[in-house]
Amino acid sequence: MPLGAPPLFQEDEQETPLQQLIRYWTNERHAPDILPTEEDLLSRLLDHIRSQSETVQLLRSDPSSSEEEHFRIMLAQTEVERVKFVVRSYLRIRLFKIEKFARYIMTNPEVQQRLSESEVDHARRFARLTDQHFYHSVLQSLPESQQTLDDQPPFVPSMVTEPDKTRAVFAHARQNCPPVRLPDGTALKMQKGHISLTPYSVVEQLVTRGEVELV
Amino acid sequence: MADTRQFGDLATQLIIESRRSALADNLLKYNDNLVRSVIREQRDLEKLMDGAQEVSPAILIYQTAIVRNKRCLLAYHKHRTDQLRDMYWAVGGALPHILSNQDIRSKLSPHEVDFLRQYSASVMDYRAGFSNELDITASITHPPKDLHVLVRVVRDCGVIQTELGSIDFQKGQRFMVRRADIEHLIVQGFLEEV
């Protein structure tokens, strides 16, 4: 399957694990908030990558493999590299968001549930690390009353960065969706195949349930 | 020095520096003096606050200046750590590569060096979870099109293990190698794609 082609109009067939991952990957890249981790899918794919690489290694070192087999090996290898690329990009965009919202994540157990264990560990370490860095570079030299890191003074944005769920996203309906309420009170009912531009908060539930995908 | 300096002027200079470095996309030297001056101003403001007997308009001004200065200080440091993280990922997580560069090293404060070290340790911890299958620090800018790539050696980088056996990369030579084997060397600037 070509990497570049978005699985936009293939909903009728059963999705392969790779197609699923590509969908989660595009969703993750477009959503302002961090989406639930797809650990099972990911570990299945990683297992597959590993076994494929081992098979390739085995076949390559086997002198009796034919010319045609070598060609097939090359294709398999290329595909493995492409899958790795998607996996890597998926993990990295999550890592980027985790670092951006580290403090918010660590104060919200609900958000932590959306992360894998190693991601929560990284968020914790990163939050502590930035706190320490601020403390050593700035806060420790300030008078005691100014040393907090979670002030909420009036008229200024909060010190803890939170995902901006009002950001506009393009949502593509993968099936007929139940109506969702727009900010102005009207209802939006998306038919299969429709694409709408809405604030992320409107379609948040639909994205989690897999009824729409972000494009 | 103009003697009609207002509270918050110094902090504004810090922000201007951050902005300048963001626009030019390069890291400026850590401005230790300026940071110290702002911190000193914070202490003076705090004393003024403590000295005030009753609630007066002046207190409101001091308070606003305190909040603003602190925010600017933190923003300055945050902006720098963001840049450091970008730099770190741009070389594929090769920390020694950054720290051994004297030009970069001289622009960092000691705390920032610590920050990078610990950050790198945390990323490496996370990466170890996937080390059997893939290297998450490899480049994600272009999806791979070919398995192999023709590279030119820009700087000597010693003997590297590849699928063709070990190759001694010496400056000026060209090789056709598997991308996955030498990807990190391209990122770190040892090799160049032809």
- Reduce the secondary structure of B68-82 to three states and give it as a string: HHHHHHHHHHHHHHH
Distance (Å) of CA B132 to CA A48, A53, A121, B128: 12, 11, 20, 8
Q: Do A172 and A214 touch, CB atoms closer than 8 A? A: yes
Confidence of residue B4 (pLDDT cuts 50, 70, 90): low
Residue A122 sits at the chain B interface (C-beta within 8 Å): yes
Closest CA to A85 of A40, A27, A22, A127: A22
For the stretch B9-59, pLDDT in tens is 888 888 898 889 888 888 888 888 888 888 888 888 888 888 777 777 888
Distances (CA, A) of B14 to A161, A169, B32, B88, B116: 21, 35, 11, 23, 22
Chain B hits for A4, CB-CB cut-off 8 Å, are: 143
Least confident segment among A5-19, A53-67, A69-83 = A5-19
**What class, spelled out in words, does domain A16-151 have in CATH?**
mainly alpha
Residues B84 and A99: their CA atoms lie apart, in Å, by: 13
d(CA B138, CA B30): 29
Classify residue A12 by its DSSP letter.
Answer: T
How far is residue A6's CA from residue B8's CA, in Å, rounded to a whole number?
Answer: 51
ipTM over 0.90: no
Sign of the dihedral through C-alpha B89, B91, B97, B98: negative
Q: Do A87 and B77 lie within an 8 Å CB cutoff?
A: no
> Which of the following CATH numbers is that of domain B9-129: 3.30.70.100, 3.40.50.10330, 2.102.10.10, 1.20.58.1030?
1.20.58.1030
Closest B-chain CA to A150: B71
d(C-alpha A133, C-alpha A97), whole Å: 20
Residue whose structure tokens are 């030019």 = B24
Cβ neighbours of A126 in B, within 8 Å: 119, 122
**CA triplet A106, A110, A113: central angle to 5 degrees?**
85
What is the number of other CB atoms lying within 10 angstroms of the CB of residue B72? 19
CA distance B81 to B97: 17
Indicate the helix (H) or strand (E) that contains B21: helix B9-24
Whole-number average pLDDT of chain A: 85
Q: What does the DSSP 8-state code read for residue A3?
A: S
Instruction: In whole angstroms, give the CA distance from residue B21 to residue B29.
Output: 10
- Per-residue confidence at A133, pLDDT binned at 50, 70, 90? very high
Could you tell me where in chain A the CATH 1.20.58.1030 domains are found? 16-151
Taking the model in full, what pTM does it have?
0.83
The residues facing A170 across adjacent strands are: A197
- Scanning every residue of chain A, which has its alpha carbon at the shortest distance from the alpha carbon of B140? A89
Res B172: pLDDT = 83
A124: its two tokens: 């914790």
Mean pLDDT of chain B: 84
8 Å CB contact between A127 and A104 = no
User: In this predicted structure, what is the pLDDT of residue A95?
Assistant: 92
Give A30 or B162, the one with higher predicted confidence. Answer: A30
| CATH 3.40.5.60 segments of chain A | 164-214
B151, two tokens: 């590279």
Higher per-residue confidence, A180 vs B158: A180
User: Which of B36, B126, B148, B178 should one mutate to test binding to chain A, selecting the residue with the greatest count of A CBs within 10 A?
Assistant: B126
Q: What are the backbone dihedrals phi and psi of residue B145, each rounded to the nearest 5 degrees, phi first?
A: -110, -35
CB-neighbour burial class of residue A190 (10 A; exposed 0-12, middle 13-18, buried 19+): buried
B contacts of A82 (beta carbons < 8 Å): 143-144
CA torsion through residues B191, A96, B142, A14, sign: positive
Each residue of A159-201: pLDDT tens digit? Answer: 788 888 889 999 999 888 888 888 888 888 888 888 989 999 8
Distances (CA, A) of B63 to A147, B99, B149: 14, 40, 60
Tell me: pLDDT of A144 over 80: no
Q: pLDDT tens, B109-133? A: 999 999 999 999 999 999 988 877 7
Q: What percent of chain A has pLDDT over 90?
A: 27
d(CA A61, CA B38) in angstroms, rounded, equals 65
Contact between A34 and A62 under an 8 Å Cβ cutoff? The reply is no
Mean pLDDT of B188-192: 82
Interface of A with B in 92-111 (CB under 8 A): 92, 95, 99
Q: Which residues of B touch A146 (CB under 8 A)?
A: 42, 46, 66, 70
Contacts of A141 in chain B (CB under 8 A): 36, 39
Size of interface A-B (CB pairs under 8 A): 108
CATH architecture of A164-214: 3-Layer(aba) Sandwich (3.40)
Least confident residue range of A11-20, A38-47, A103-112: A11-20
